[in-house]
Structure 1
Amino acid sequence: MNLRPDPTFHATPRLAMQAPVETLAFTLMLSPDGTQPDGLAVIDVDPSSGSYGRIVHQLIMPNRGDEFHHFGWNACSSALSPLTGHAFLERRYLIIPGIRSSRIYVVDVKEPRAPKIHKIIEPEEVFARTGYSRPHTIHCGPEGIYVSTLGGGGPDGTDGPPGIFIMDCETFEIRGRYEMDRGRQDKHYDFWWNLPRDYMVSSEWGLPPQFENGLVPEDLLSNRYGHAIHFWKLRERRNVQTIDLGENHQMALEVRPAHDPARDYGFVGVVVDTTNLQGAIFTWWRRDDGTFAAKKTITIDPQPADPADLPDLLKGFGAVPPLVTDIDLSLDDRFLYVSCWGTGEMLQYDVSDPMAPKLAGKVQIGGIVQKTPHPSGKAFGYGPQMVEISRDGKRVYWTNSLYSTWDDQFYPGEGGGAMVMAHVGPNGGLTLDEQFFVAFPEGYRSHQIRLEGGDCSTDSFCYPSV
């Protein structure tokens, strides 16, 4: 334990933006067919380094079949909470769940170029202590580590709804379920919160039979995937309101509240509108009476395409849907980045007015039909997927794999794992760095990214910026 707060903890988003820039990134490596163990790659992102843009270390796990997807820190700026914080924790451990195995790895990155496994939590312990399976998103809260799940109990994860459980942030023991009253919530995906205002927002993807073996077309066209967001009284662990975005808005995924807790709004991305194949972003906000509302503020159109150029799943539509699979918000709450995994676009919106976003920048790379190469000339498989923003907002990193079985449906053939970075102009705009292209080892794909010292989808702030 530190004798003073970790220097990577910041009271406000503005202070975090002024912190030293990242020199390393941690990126998940997954073996799509399970023939190799998954791993964690340490990537040099320091442009003054001789190994810039290269993997400088790989930590390979001892088990196969985990399917690494999302991960997060044991502690972050939320530890500075004046109510229930543990201000003297270290941002030292990465919590990495296997979405397919339900196994959780605790990785010590005290020596960031030589991380090592600190603890392994076997799936039987997860099942016994929570009744949940398929752990997914990790968020460090003031009093512990929160883990969302995509499955309930039973072999196929449909014995009861999925939810959130809490781990001790020092011993990494599983404490138990979060929910006291889940209301209408029966599916899960992402979650995040506004700590001073004491509420949480969660979203929905689908149940394990709807995603583990690929997208189920019948369920999509029948609007059976998730299409609601849920608002919770955080400390009471109680669902206080559910907003249905409309059953045609299938798969409400990433939740991004404003980083400044004085700003009472946020965004959620919708993968596809089944009436027109559009992608969408909804802005949600809290009314004066304490209830919540949501409105569609961004739509992204599909692109017409020759059916001969499309995978079987899309041939009947004659178009490529954007497939909004990730979004991320800069720490100053100015720019929202939207990954369009299907069309191969990374879009940047100025959301200074959250109810009237304006397109400010765009990069084309990969894509089902376009297959646009990187400026270096290297092929970029799949499309922009998991996106991460530097604390100062000047660099945007992303990878290309969504989920192994979905990769194979939408992009038949092996595309290979890749990670790229774009520079952000002072007033917006994106330019890909020609020197930064990380190709992952053969047989591996790449998913979520964490940046040394924190990033824009990690930390929760307890105080408003001045």
Structure 2
Amino acid sequence: MLESLRTDPTFHPSPRLAMEAEPERIAYTALLSPDGSRPDALAVVDVDPASSTYGTVLHRLDMPNKGDELHHFGWNACSSALSPMSGHAFLKRRYLVVPGLRSSRIHIIDTHPDPAKPTLVKVVEPAEVTSRSGYSRPHTVHCGPEGLYISTVGGGGPDGMDGPPGVFLMDCKSFEVMGKWEIDRGPQKLHYDFWWNLPRDYMVSSEWALPPQIENGIVAEDLLANRYGHRLHFWELSARRHVQTIDLGENHQMALEVRPAHDPAREYGFVGVCVDTTNLEASIWTWWREDGKFHAKKTAVVPPEPADPAVLPPLLKGFGAVPPLISDIDLSLDDRFLYVACWGTGELRQYDVTDPMNPKLAGSVRVGGIAKHTPHPNGSAFGGGPQMTEISRDGKRVYFTNSLYSKWDAQFYPDGVPGRMVMCNVGANGGIELDKKFVVDFGAEYGSHQVRLQGGDCSTDSFCYSSA
């Protein structure tokens, strides 16, 4: 009984205290069946360099159905439970909440008693998600003080087009869908990622596209006509109320991952824009709040790279160039380094964002890429490019996988994207280098997507107190 009333030791009041925690020993990685011929799975990967099985798959947990397209999963609880407003002070970081973006199922996976052998304990079926929230296509899971927040990219109906997508709440103990989060959604009609600053009481959300623009591959005509998302939305968190929209410009297509500063005293963050339809470049934008209003500015640009049309997929042959296609960004817990995954060109960039209005390129590695197909430093082939990125709490290791979304993988990488997970070591003063020993091969029958680290990581936890 007393044990259940103790605060989980993996919860930390501030980012700096989280950085001092013991290193991760296990990573959980979502595996996708590219052709839907088998169920998706969750892989347990040994990331302890002192282990004899370092860099190998310890266990694979298969899902019970086919066609889920597992996406951005999260924990049932994290450091946000330390919020003074939390009604769940004694939760434990125990369950992984794993959404199927294509199927609208949500899988509840128990990592106790053996974190290396998690078990599936519940499946929330699509009918419950839609009937209780009006939404479908769950995308991102974040643990908040009131429970689990889950973003979606689809509304109701079989095609997800019955009403706009949004965010719904799930009980973090029973895992029942509670209902729609928004009370006043304002003009928001597209959705993708979201995150927040808990003490400052605001949330920011971004836009991708509607289900018909995603599920059968990218719709080139819609992209060139600027019909994908290009806005940021800001919300009053406690009132569940939309307060402001910033349009980045319709040519800035697919404003995807949002990363607020981890220290809640800092009222700024970043968003990655996948492609500018006027010139194929990708960009990083800094958003901030000043005098009660939010602002956004383009602060870094990644140019396209010329390429022989003969080596390009049909989608890109007419351009004679490879767009960077920023598909993920991640921010270290000390708010110093922003990592930018350029899935198209096969580059992971490290920016020093000590001055968030002036990011400076501090490091870069190359692996994969649509045109270059750069091998890993150990000599092995690498399909796809740097995609979902996860940083260790201490900031010394950066893990990434190589699959974006099965149908999109096939369009941009028609030769296939066999699942890989690799890791970069980070220099004390910046700079990154791919680790030759850490290459996890999941095989050609799986793509690899989101990574979660045991005990928390840099895109999981929300902090309520400022670092000293």
Query: Does TM, normalized by the shorter one, top 0.5?
Result: yes
Tell me the distance in 2 between the aligned counterparts of 1:442 and 1:292: 44
Does 2:180 correspond to 1:177?
Answer: yes
SS across alignment from 1:2: helix
Q: Partner residue of 2:163? A: 160
Does 2:261 correspond to 1:258?
Answer: yes
One-letter identity of the residue aligned with 2:177: I
Q: Partner residue of 2:427? A: 425
TM-score in terms of structure 1 length: 0.99
Q: Any idea what the Cα deviations from partners look like across 1:21-56, whole Å, max 9, x if unmatched? A: 000000001101111011100000001101000000
Q: Partner residue of 1:275? A: 278
Matches within 5 A, 1:103-118: 103-110=105-112, 111-118=114-121
Q: Any idea what the Cα deviations from partners look like across 1:275-328, whole Å, max 9, x if unmatched? A: 1100001000001x2110000001000000111111000011110000000000
Tell me the distance in 2 between the aligned counterparts of 1:435 and 1:128: 48
Matches within 5 A, 1:1-400: 2-110=4-112, 111-287=114-290, 289-400=291-402
1:413 Cα deviation after fit? 2.0
SS across alignment from 2:163: coil
Tell me the distance in 2 between the aligned counterparts of 1:442 and 1:343: 21
For the 8 Å contact 1:343–1:370, the answer to whether it is kept is yes
One-letter identity of the residue aligned with 1:269: G
For the 8 Å contact 2:417–2:444, the answer to whether it is kept is no
1:384 Cα deviation after fit? 0.3
One-letter identity of the residue aligned with 2:222: D
Q: Any idea what the Cα deviations from partners look like across 1:394-449, whole Å, max 9, x if unmatched? A: 00000000000000000002220000000000010001110000000341110000
Further displaced range: 77-86 or 93-102:
77-86
One-letter identity of the residue aligned with 1:455: D
Tell me the distance in 2 between the aligned counterparts of 1:24 and 1:38: 19
One-letter identity of the residue aligned with 1:401: S
SS across alignment from 1:440: strand
Residues 257, 57 of structure 1: alpha-carbon distance in 2 compared, 3 angstrom cutoff: same
For the 8 Å contact 1:363–1:432, the answer to whether it is kept is yes
One-letter identity of the residue aligned with 2:110: D
Superposed structure 1 runs of 4+ greater than 3 Å apart: none
Residues 266, 225 of structure 1: alpha-carbon distance in 2 compared, 3 angstrom cutoff: same
One-letter identity of the residue aligned with 2:457: D
For the 8 Å contact 1:78–1:85, the answer to whether it is kept is no
1:86 Cα deviation after fit? 1.5
Tell me the distance in 1 between the aligned counterparts of 2:195 and 2:444: 34
One-letter identity of the residue aligned with 1:437: V
Q: Any idea what the Cα deviations from partners look like across 1:224-266, whole Å, max 9, x if unmatched? A: 0000000000010000000000000000000000000000000
Q: Report the RMSD for the aligned CA atoms in angstroms.
A: 0.7
Tell me the distance in 2 between the aligned counterparts of 1:11 and 1:255: 22
Tell me the distance in 2 between the aligned counterparts of 1:85 and 1:199: 19
1:85 Cα deviation after fit? 4.3
Structure 1 portions without partners, runs of 5+: none
Does 2:413 correspond to 1:411?
Answer: yes
Match of 1:463 among 459, 462, 465: 465
